[in-house]
Amino acid sequence: MALLLKNAHVVDPAVELDGCVDVLVEGDKIAAVGENLTCDAAEVIDLAGRYLVPGLVDMHVHLREPGFEAKGDIESETAAAAHGGFTGVCSMPNTKPVTDNGVVVEYIKSVAAAKGHCRVYPSGAMTKGLKGEIISEMGDMVEHGCVAFTDDGHGVQGAGMLRRAMDYGQMFGKVFMSHCQDEDLVGDGQINEGAVSTRLGLLGWPAEGEELQIMRDIMIAELTGAKLHIQHISTAKGLDMVRAAKAKGLPVTCEATPHHLFLTEDAIDGTYNTCFKVNPPLRTAADAEALIAGVIDGRDADRRDRPRPAFRLGEVPRVRARSVRHDRPRDRARLVITNLVKTGKITFARMVELMAIEPRKILGLDQVTIAEGSVADLTVFDADVAWTVSEDDFVSHAKNSGFKGAELTGRARMFSWVESARSPTASFAKIAVSA
């Protein structure tokens, strides 16, 4: 099967390409990239200058299956990811049963193969049952395809336990992804501790409840030599800690969510709209500004002390009142386009780095490039179309979003990916995404 994508605005900083070319796909590989390509046997699609980029990867999603299918399942949540132009996702292990052994990893892979709409890269728990007591079956999980270790949703509360997990697990070469939340300090906190929580009479979630564990985890990573990734970083001070760690040459990275970049605690008012209740909570405007600054300058070649944050799609839902589930619609990349690319704060190439290249690097996945011989794992964007975020447009089981009603620019028009989940032997699959 062959597919000829004509007049594509290809953006791929990995091969220093930013311009209009044709891309020919044959089977599961890119056969040619250049001007005025022809192929009599190929299906031809004229992209008319739309952006063609390496497939986006969300390195932090909750597929909920097995065990919490009422909240979401592999089919629905990968469909939501695909809806947004994401061709790969890394699933979190807080399932039921917990993803803490090879059997559960295989289950996730098998369901994704049968029903998934994008690639699924399972992460595995650091500790059995996410209880922070016994190291999980790390080697078994890696053998079955686990790409990272995390106790996401809880975080490893004991420093000694974290050290033992990192000491043991680093032999497998996988990154440890840290949900930094000191549960003793955070308690039943609901929103960021400060003026807004006081005014509304809500229990505060202090920034220190995140920052203390960021510092602790960095120090233990340095002690053990493990690769560390800070999940959903939300404070300026936490970002400074990552900067300092990278300045020392430590293998430390972090991720930022769109809602922590583009929403603040000031959005929470007397209506007590639970769409703004997330974990970690929305922080101050100063924190959001600091995170955006980190995104902007994170790639400067002469500033290697900067973190390299990766964007991700969704939130960290909790059953308790601390947060609510948010949809994983196609607005996440578009939030970046609208607020950062269209405003001139970052280039489209920088967005590709953040949402395609860096996540693969952090997770140790094979890189995808738009070059002859590369796997044809691609995302297509119409960067100029305007639209309004609406619940009617959500694909996930969840229907909550703090961005409802937002006017955004840019949408995924079509994405393509290799090794169709429903037919692993299929050479090429493409899915049209309606306007």
Give the model confidence (pLDDT) of 355-369 as tens digits.
Answer: 999 999 999 999 999
Q: What is the pLDDT at residue 334?
A: 83
- Please tell me whether the overall predicted TM-score, pTM, comes out greater than 0.85 for this model: yes
pLDDT tens per residue across span 283-312: 999 999 999 999 998 643 333 344 556 655
Which of 299-303, 327-331, 376-380 is predicted with the least confidence, judged by mean pLDDT?
Answer: 299-303
User: Does the pLDDT value for residue 143 go beyond 80?
Assistant: yes
Nearest to 318 by CA among 155, 187, 153, 98: 153
| Span 192-215, average pLDDT | 97
Q: What is the pLDDT at residue 297?
A: 81
For a pLDDT cut of 90, what percent of the chain falls above it?
Answer: 77
| Span 253-266, average pLDDT | 96
Average pLDDT of the chain to the nearest whole number:
88
Q: 426 versus 349: which is more confidently predicted? A: 349
Q: What is the pLDDT at residue 397?
A: 86
In the chain, the domains with their CATH numbers are 55-363 (3.20.20.140)
Active site residues: 302
Q: 34 versus 311: which is more confidently predicted? A: 34
ω into 66 cis (within 30 of 0) = yes
